[in-house]
Chain A
């Protein structure tokens, strides 16, 4: 029953995704950037660039597509039809996330095929990357519901990309090591995965879990607002 509803939403979203130029181009963007990085790095990219590619993919493809899909459903009032149907909140969230998940995996697989997957072949890192994916997914769902129109999502997406997707780039801006800003930025989700890579400790996984939980809370609050009209 429940599986049937989830798969119905998945099937519909997949068709809709492929016919929506704006969203269908999103997964191509990180791959093009990867090709560009790979070209200029002439063989062997530093490990931090691998993580940057993950950050770009998750922010652009994961957050970007689910955000746009949901904002469109909200703006055009089709979401109301889903809410009026017997589908539960979870059926809707899971059904919608599956398409985004699939597209993210495909896009990331192509990028990692280009630059190599070695840095990630570690159980702890894989756990971290899965949590990071959930963080971006939930954040995208929350923003998509909150934004209410497709036009306004692009501004929010920029913020998500710059803060959470391109975080390693901020560290390259030359802000003094040990300054307050740097300490805060080091706590950001993507930086925590990089920290896990270099330090090999479990602590960053805890911080990452907190980020993901916060993002989940945000999504939950946004959904509650949409579910009732009050």
Chain B
């Protein structure tokens, strides 16, 4: 199977500082792939090299079967959608006029605007001036702009940063629907819950290097300590290893009806990140 994105030995140097050190990864077609990392770890720099906005200092980038020298063509640009970290709209124009411009630039029929506004829960907002929209609405319009031409592959650089939970949930639903329809998504975030909920696979980025790359569930399993945390009705906190020799003890606790709560120890992605890099996200 062809990969949507294939990166080998990618490096980016700005002047004297190296923003991305030797990174390798693939994004499968139809996957939601998350780049996770704290501020300054190189997420935006990697995305820009995948969209053709920055040229790599070293390494091979293949996106939708095209090598990095061929990412500037109009043909490639119609196949991808981009929501940048600083994407913006024309504030004096209406939502509709903003989207109309991009419909024409991407050679998409104008009636597509109604469809996408409905998808993004924005059909009431079409005639409003962008300057009058809330932050969450603007972000959804930006997303609509990135998706209006039905790209095969979308790059979303922090699509939900600084949004309230309700707006975030709306965007997540939209992205899941989009992905179910077959669109490959590459997103960056510092929000671990978002990554756990949305991504099929995540890469942990720290100071321009990948530390881990796997599905959230696999990572959580790999970093779990394989123990049960049991709280009894008498207030005892027990830590019992998930080993055959403890089976009798567990059975006894259950039979005696002493267990109030019981949890397996699954760390969150945030805890794993801290463990791997020694650094908090955000």
Contact = CB atoms under 8 A, between A and B. Distances in A.
B107 A1 contact: yes
B86 interface: yes
Interface residues of A, number: 27
Nearest to B85: A77
B273 to A, nearest CB: 27
B53 A8 contact: no
A12 interface: yes
A8 B87 contact: no
B66 to A, nearest CB: 14
B276 interface: no
A162 B86 CA distance: 36
B90 A88 contact: no
A29 interface: no
B112 to A, nearest CB: 14
B238 interface: no
A8 B88 CA distance: 18
Given A7-B104, A9-B101, A86-B105, A78 B89 contact: yes
A190 to B, nearest CB: 33
Contacts of B100: 8, 12
A93 interface: no
B223 interface: no
A12 B74 contact: no
Given A12-B90, A78-B90, A88 B74 contact: yes
Interface residues on B, range: 20 to 34
Nearest to A79: B88
A7 B103 CA distance: 12
A28 B26 CA distance: 57
A80 B102 contact: no
Interface in B74-116: 74-75, 77-78, 82, 84, 86-93, 97, 100-102, 104-107
Contact of A20 (B54, B88, B92): B92
A40 interface: no
A84 interface: yes
A55 B261 CA distance: 83
Contacts of B82: 84
Contact of B54 (A1, A82, A86, A229): A229
Interface string A65-78: 00000000000111
Nearest to A7: B104
Given A76-B91, A84-B77, A228 B105 contact: no
A16 B55 contact: no
B87 A77 contact: yes
Nearest to A81: B87
A80 B87 contact: yes
Most chain B CB within 10 A, of A4, A5, A7, A83, is at A5
A228 B14 CA distance: 13
Contact of B48 (A5, A20, A229): A229
Nearest to B89: A78
A76 B138 CA distance: 14
Interface string A1-40: 1001101110110011001100000000000000000000
Given A5-B105, A228-B53, A81 B145 contact: yes
B51 interface: yes
Contacts of B77: 84-86
Nearest to A17: B92
Interface of A: 1, 4-5, 7-9, 11-12, 15-16, 19-20, 76-78, 80-88, 228-230
Interface of B: 14, 48, 51, 53-55, 74-75, 77-78, 82, 84, 86-93, 97, 100-102, 104-107, 145
For the complex of A and B, the 7 pairs showing the least CB-CB separation, nearest first, are A8-B104, A86-B74, A85-B105, A19-B92, A86-B77, A77-B88, A12-B101
Given A77-B88, A81-B87, A229-B48, 10 more contacts: A4-B104, A11-B101, A12-B97, A19-B93, A76-B88, A81-B102, A84-B82, A86-B78, A88-B74, A228-B54
5 contacts: A8-B100, A11-B101, A12-B100, A76-B88, A81-B87
